[in-house]
Structure 1
């Protein structure tokens, strides 16, 4: 019997300050809070590993800002992970780092504990936009940090960029994108700004000069074409990579593979069941027992499983291999959703190419509408 391979996600919720657009689970920190959290996280790692069989194929430190942790804290977390879980020698081990929190001593530690991929949150190459977004760094500080990563030997770097920022023109966006391409990172993620409830931007939304939906879509496709022209392969709606540099951890999410999330607010998917950890950091620190902090969000259910499979798999540009999907479910896809697929093919939203069901360009623009068609 083949050994199960799965992903691990570690959530580090601390930030220097909350960005104006951010609705992720993050918060300011203190030395005491950070240390208490790390101790609780190590406890959860140990207790979870006791009941988890298989090998870790990808490990991702996300946040928040994981690079805020001290060298000692990262070393202790890594020691716990390696001693408790079986991590494959060729596992992709990613970590999110923010400009302004990167130091040479930390980078040496990252190398030592096996981190082989870094994801940098830049968001914009324009200093006025960075200030408006609430970032803690300038573009010049980002570039200095990026060059330090290269000097220190990191050869797999991803950069995040936001589109449709207030007052942003397509020309400005493409100019910024060119600056990134000149640096030649292995991976670029491009996200359109969304105003989420609970964020600073949402509170002042009426005063923001945002592009129209039509302009936002034009900006997205202009960025898409520019990245492809410069050698970046679009393997998911928002993600582009040089050949062979796709983020394996993200592909795991979109390919119906198992993963476990550790830390506050972290989500897990295991044998068809989904659960989520508490978002209350005080509760988590007080009792990081899996039974005390986890809430089942979705029991094992064939129909929900199929809906998730389609929703997540269609985010990949190549789409979903129909034969593989049919092997995973009791009935073939084109029997369950014959009318829906035919309807959306006629509308130019879906197409079947070389055995893959995938979104068309129009389908990407109306992806939420496509996903809704598969809900029952």
Structure 2
């Protein structure tokens, strides 16, 4: 069977950004020790159930995983390596830029970390201040240089688009900042004001550029990133050739990955599960997961059993096509039929033709892919395509 991906959710942050809807909380040493012990037990439990499968990606996200410190992170990475092999693996840790990170980077490199994802969000000080970020652009630049000096050369920076007062010129300033640092990967996301966040309570959505202006900013960002050598390979992700995130591609290719930690999600053999957003519950039972389908308790053994059977029905097909259409490459008819033998693509070109004329997708003899303009309305485009497939469920 193909190698797994492993995702560890680390739910600690020094402070909560006002736009963030991810599960995170303040953590003292005791809480972080308890989390680490539970995560180690969770890795062991997953390894027992899914043995002898190996993994070739490990991603520590959050939250701010770097808050755990070198010793805890090293223990988690070491346990994942002993449990899942991690041969020739891509090992990624999310980090927020700050002063004095070189000792941490030295330890991470020694533990086998070869990739960092840093939450820059903007290189314009007024924008980072509005977003509640705690770093300056100079601290971000220093962190990138410190990582390289430690031997971690594969670095991704996050940018946020559609921020209040943002312009095409300020987006270009941020992109040029990233390109000048020579990073290999950039994630550029449109700001979405999530319910229940401080931004929602403050009515920030009304201050953001309108839909047309956001679209212009996004399309300009795609253009600028392409000019600087960053190829768009997913709606919000851009990379130099060969530096695409191997772990995240597992999500969009509907490959198997394990999630471990409070709020983590996993999918194996089409069986989707998640851990509740509850640190205390995770510490008490690091293997207690729920079915994403109906929020009911789900044993990892049941996930493994379904994985062994595989999933090739209409629901799995619809999900696969939906995920693949997030990728700039779209989906290939032959590859899709190899995974889903009953797949009949014949209705799709006719359904896609009006959208292709509008510049939202591209059709060729091998498959269909969305354009950057199509990504802006991807939900509607994908729904129209899938509606053309008899029996496809999504």
What TM-score does the superposition give when structure 1 sets the normalisation length?
Answer: 0.93
Alpha carbon RMSD of aligned pairs, Å?
A: 1.9
Pick one of 316, 321, 325 that aligns with 1:305: 316
Kindly provide the CA deviation profile for residues 341-370 of structure 1, in whole angstroms up to 9, marking residues without a partner as x: 455446553332351311134322211111
Moved more, 365-374 or 118-127: 365-374
Q: CA deviation at 1:337?
A: 5.2
Q: In 2, Cα distance between the equivalents of 1:7 and 1:361?
A: 28
Q: In 1, Cα distance between the equivalents of 2:174 and 2:239?
A: 17
Q: Are residues 112 and 248 of structure 1, via their aligned partners in 2, closer, same or farther at CA, if it must alter by over 3 Å?
A: same
- Structure 1: runs of 5+ lacking an equivalent: none
Q: Is the 8 A contact 2:193 2:205 kept in 1?
A: no
- Structure 2: runs of 5+ lacking an equivalent: 294-305, 388-392
Q: Is the 8 A contact 1:67 1:101 kept in 2?
A: no
Kindly provide the CA deviation profile for residues 98-117 of structure 1, in whole angstroms up to 9, marking residues without a partner as x: 11276222112111111001
Q: Is the 8 A contact 1:67 1:102 kept in 2?
A: no
Q: Are residues 151 and 32 of structure 1, via their aligned partners in 2, closer, same or farther at CA, if it must alter by over 3 Å?
A: same
1:350 aligned partner: 361
Kindly provide the CA deviation profile for residues 141-163 of structure 1, in whole angstroms up to 9, marking residues without a partner as x: 11121221122222110000001
Q: Are residues 159 and 126 of structure 1, via their aligned partners in 2, closer, same or farther at CA, if it must alter by over 3 Å?
A: same
Q: In 2, Cα distance between the equivalents of 1:176 and 1:310?
A: 33
Q: In 1, Cα distance between the equivalents of 2:132 and 2:55?
A: 35
2:227 aligned partner: 229
Q: Is the 8 A contact 1:320 1:357 kept in 2?
A: yes
Q: What secondary structure is seen at the aligned counterpart in 1 of 2:207?
A: coil
Kindly provide the CA deviation profile for residues 145-188 of structure 1, in whole angstroms up to 9, marking residues without a partner as x: 12211222221100000011111111111122112211110111
Q: Are residues 337 and 222 of structure 1, via their aligned partners in 2, closer, same or farther at CA, if it must alter by over 3 Å?
A: closer
Pick one of 342, 348, 352 that aligns with 1:331: 342
Q: CA deviation at 1:122?
A: 0.4
What TM-score does the superposition give when structure 2 sets the normalisation length?
Answer: 0.89
Is residue 2:326 matched to residue 1:315? Answer: yes
Moved more, 306-315 or 77-86: 77-86
Q: CA deviation at 1:55?
A: 1.5
Q: What secondary structure is seen at the aligned counterpart in 2 of 1:99?
A: coil
2:16 aligned partner: 18
Aligned length: 370
Q: What secondary structure is seen at the aligned counterpart in 2 of 1:69?
A: helix
Kindly provide the CA deviation profile for residues 291-328 of structure 1, in whole angstroms up to 9, marking residues without a partner as x: xx211113857222112111110111111111110121
2:374 aligned partner: 363
1:61 aligned partner: 60
Superposition pairs of residues 109-188 of structure 1, within 5 angstroms = 109-188=107-186
Q: What secondary structure is seen at the aligned counterpart in 2 of 1:95?
A: strand
Q: In 2, Cα distance between the equivalents of 1:305 and 1:319?
A: 17
Q: In 2, Cα distance between the equivalents of 1:352 and 1:189?
A: 26
Is residue 2:26 matched to residue 1:45? Answer: no
Superposition pairs of residues 285-296 of structure 1, within 5 angstroms = 285-288=283-286, 290=287, 293-296=288-291
Q: In 1, Cα distance between the equivalents of 2:285 and 2:344?
A: 43
